[in-house]
Structure 1
Amino acid sequence: MGTIKLKNIRTYSYHGCLIEEGKIGSDYSVDLEIRANLKQSSESDNLKDTVDYVHLNQIVVEEMAIRSNLLEHVTKRIIVRALVEIEAISKIKVAVSKINPPIGGDVEAVTIEMEEERYFKL
């Protein structure tokens, strides 16, 4: 087993319950951590034997472009899509942060973090 991390994927997105958030948008940061069997790719040195970081980044960027009221919703969509599209993932953790959220205070970020494991049928 091994871990692949994508840190601080930055997007400008339009998530939030307020109408203004859907019009103005704000900065977001996404961290992605996946667990996968990296033994074969460590020996073969072949991209087809591992989890493609470009594909993971593409999923995040595309899902962040679809407006959601809640960060929980977009976080779950990223998880589900990654598990559906990339069979090699055994566990995934996603953290979505809204930078400078409009919550009436001086808050650097609000972060939602969720994780799921793939359960294989024997």
Structure 2
Amino acid sequence: MDKIHLRDMAFRGHHGCLEFERRDGQMFYVDLALGLNLRKAGLSDDLNDSVNYALVFETVRKVVEEETHNLIERVAEHIAAQVMEAFPPVQQVDVEIKKPNAPIAGNFREVAVAISRMRSGK
């Protein structure tokens, strides 16, 4: 399966189980891999035969910046569902959400959740 990658998309969101996380917000970084057949687009050089990744970016932005969830697992699940719904050519979506400022007492780079979702019957 061919892939379109959107990496390290940065958004300020209000997700977390603690009240201050939802109130103050923090940065989240999202990676997406869209699985679809890109042969037709590669031959035609026509955006209509692919997926407009500017629109994919906007879909992800709305979920991260305009919604509030306790768990980044839920954020990832909603991103996957919105992308699959809005972009029918996408047969699989891999979502990774990184939360570098998770409220953990210790030294770490980030907490991340990664999910992969496929269309039913595939």
Output the TM-score relative to the length of structure 2: 0.95
Task: Look up the equivalent residue of 1:85 and give its one-letter code.
Answer: A
- The number of aligned residues is 121
Root-mean-square deviation over aligned CA pairs: 1.2
Q: Structure 2 CA distance, aligned partners of 1:7 and 1:43? A: 25
Residue 12 of structure 1: how far off its partner (Å): 1.0
Residue 119 of structure 1: how far off its partner (Å): 2.6
2:112 alignment partner in structure 1: 111
| 1:10 lines up with 2:18 in the alignment | no
Deviates more, 1:96-105 or 1:57-66: 96-105
SS at match of 1:32: strand
1:76 alignment partner in structure 2: 77
Q: Structure 2 CA distance, aligned partners of 1:120 and 1:21? A: 38
2:43 alignment partner in structure 1: 43
CA contact (8 A) 1:4 1:33 kept: yes
Task: Look up the equivalent residue of 1:104 and give its one-letter code.
Answer: A
SS at match of 1:89: coil
Deviating 4+ runs (over 4 angstroms)? none
| Structure 2 unaligned blocks of 5 or more | none
SS at match of 1:64: helix
2:99 alignment partner in structure 1: 98
Task: Look up the equivalent residue of 2:91 and give its one-letter code.
Answer: S
Task: Look up the equivalent residue of 2:105 and give its one-letter code.
Answer: G
CA contact (8 A) 1:101 1:109 kept: yes
Task: Look up the equivalent residue of 2:14 and give its one-letter code.
Answer: Y
CA contact (8 A) 1:101 1:108 kept: no
1:27 alignment partner in structure 2: 27
